[in-house]
Chain A
């Protein structure tokens, strides 16, 4: 296709008169067509594979489903079921609260430790080069591998955690970590933090490396205190990095699925102690072997609620964090 030529792939409003066409109040020149030709395919791709599925999930949520056959239009019945009708209401709240807990716990364990690690790497403590790679290495691993690895670590009989505890005389602390409802969720959170801590570290580190040298020199004239330096200079100046990792963590924590699926199973074993919205949605929409039917309507209602919650809160969170970047 020659630049400026009308391409059949450009999907511009047809039929086109020859020379010029009024579009958005300006002549449709060759350059514009060229831009359109470049933008339309990816836009169509996004529309087909992102917008369409989201919209269809919205639509599905308003119907009754029998297996995979769509039944009647039922208004908000599915939403009502998920939010107010037993046993769904209890399950929804249980899973949601776990997601909230996961978010805050990972905020500390993943982003908090990530920040500290980034600071240590940035300050070039001994071995910083090696550690920069070591910290990021687990991020490269697949969640499935990390999940199985931690399942082995936490194995009640042969797991390295319990064996080590017994070896140092702390056998009393050896636990069936993934089977006890008081430790199971925390075990998953720690596995996730170990897996992903390299990501916030890298983002924070990049942020720190962007801090201009003059500012740091100026600080050095004022104070020797690391704490002042971190809290008054570094932390405010990496605010854009914080915006990124906080928002991504929020979205990730409420979409959490793979790790609980691998380590705890679809039911959020034991007795729902590790149940999160992702597992709950999957079970509801697609069914599990022990459950009843697959229910696309209820599942879609749940998916829509999760989507709306994440979109709205992430929106406000981003707005707040952006504002904060400027204030600091």
Chain B
């Protein structure tokens, strides 16, 4: 009896000591608390395909995610895998050297990703890729199909038609737009969602080529048109915060919401009866490209100091696969950046279609690399514009002189 006990204990002890070698446990951090259930499904699939590797999903508050992550990485207690922000947000974490460098030899599937997507996960200083991009987001106009049909409104093809549609909704006693601008970042989304087609591809290309700045008449006109359109925002919209404007739209009190495609899943969840439609805010004439604003949301990255680099790379290869992209698109109703993914959801398919004619969400993609960031400047200046405290010209000038603090092409 006693012998058996000793033997069992010894065997169990040996097994316990061997377990960490046999099972590689990876931790995976995310800022998407709301997607926990879906991610656990994705992880189950991965674990089934890769016996011996377990992945533990942990989600943190989105607003402080970068702080939490970089503190943990600096302290050496960081996760093996994590979601990384894109562009400037990636650089804050990557510049400290805590991220595993990636390339097509490590993750062959990356070769098929679009350059725009990879660019979002590449640090500018060392031109190294640090993350597998997961989703793109689109700035556009979301509308309530039922309200449009009831009032005989079709998707507008010109700026004037958009204005006429707003006028009709207003006459019907509805709020044409649900947008409010008390929450700072909402001021940036509406510029892209309503103004991309007015500023146009030409402006964007000239801006990138250093031939234009934000005082360019095309950009100023986009701001002027935004100001004009704000007449169709709710009463007192400058004091209306983001959650309130979402609720105005989902409750059916407003016909349109100018914002990001990331709203779609949330809107559908808030009010499943809502029939949603999307369109790119039109340009001045039918001939003008109807453009949306596009950016990459984030990526999946690995800790440079992970104890299980091979297992971590296996996971990154998994999230770069078409199979994962498809599951991601179906499960999370987001536009996966993995090439070749198809969308069952007609709305998502439409957004993916609109994405083919896009300019970037300019301030996020190109101007969040210094202080003051283009986003912070734009948000404050648009608040001034919409509160009649500044003209479009003054806004353009303030953006350009503000960015000239660190953006070389604007320095004179």
Contact = CB atoms under 8 A, between A and B. Distances in A.
B236 A290 contact: no
A176 B388 CA distance: 14
Contacts of A162: 236
A181 B92 contact: no
Nearest to A68: B74
Contacts of A287: 66-67, 92
Given A157-B240, A265-B183, A287-B66, A292 B368 contact: yes
Contacts of A68: 70-71, 73-74, 96
A153 to B, nearest CB: 12
Contacts of B375: 290-291
Given A176-B239, A181-B389, A291-B373, A67 B183 contact: no
Which of B234, B236, B375, B402 is packed against the most chain A CB atoms within 10 Å?
Answer: B236
B217 interface: no
B383 interface: yes
Given A68-B74, A271-B380, A286-B67, A294 B92 contact: yes
A291 B371 contact: yes
Interface string B361-387: 000000011111101100111011001
A122 B227 CA distance: 55
Contact of A179 (B93, B237, B372): B237
A287 B384 CA distance: 23
Most buried by B among A151, A178, A270: A270
Contact of B88 (A181, A269, A292): A292
Contacts of B373: 290-292
Interface in A285-300: 286-295
A-side binding surface: helix, strand, loop or mixed?
loop
A320 B44 CA distance: 67
B264 interface: no
Contacts of B73: 68
B236 A176 contact: yes
Contacts of A86: 405
A292 B96 CA distance: 15
B240 A67 contact: no
Nearest to B364: A290
A291 B376 contact: yes
B95 interface: yes
Interface residues of A, number: 38
B156 to A, nearest CB: 26
Nearest to B367: A292
Contact of B371 (A157, A179, A292): A292
B30 to A, nearest CB: 16
A67 B95 contact: yes
B89 interface: yes
Interface in A117-164: 151, 154-157, 162
A30 interface: no
A291 B371 CA distance: 7
Contacts of A155: 239-240, 244
Nearest to A87: B372
A86 B403 CA distance: 11
B214 to A, nearest CB: 16
Contacts of A178: 182, 239, 241
Given A68-B74, A154-B239, A294 B387 contact: no
A67 B94 CA distance: 8
A267 B264 CA distance: 26
A272 B380 contact: yes
A35 to B, nearest CB: 37
A23 interface: no
B303 to A, nearest CB: 14
Contacts of A181: 387, 389
B270 to A, nearest CB: 17
Contact of A157 (B70, B95, B244): B244
Give the one of A157, A292, A293 with max B CB within 10 A: A292
A69 B381 contact: no
Contacts of B185: 289-290
Contact of B376 (A88, A157, A267): A267
Contacts of B95: 66-67, 69, 293
B181 interface: yes
A177 interface: yes
Given A155-B240, A180-B387, 7 more contacts: A69-B96, A87-B405, A156-B238, A271-B384, A286-B67, A293-B371, A294-B67
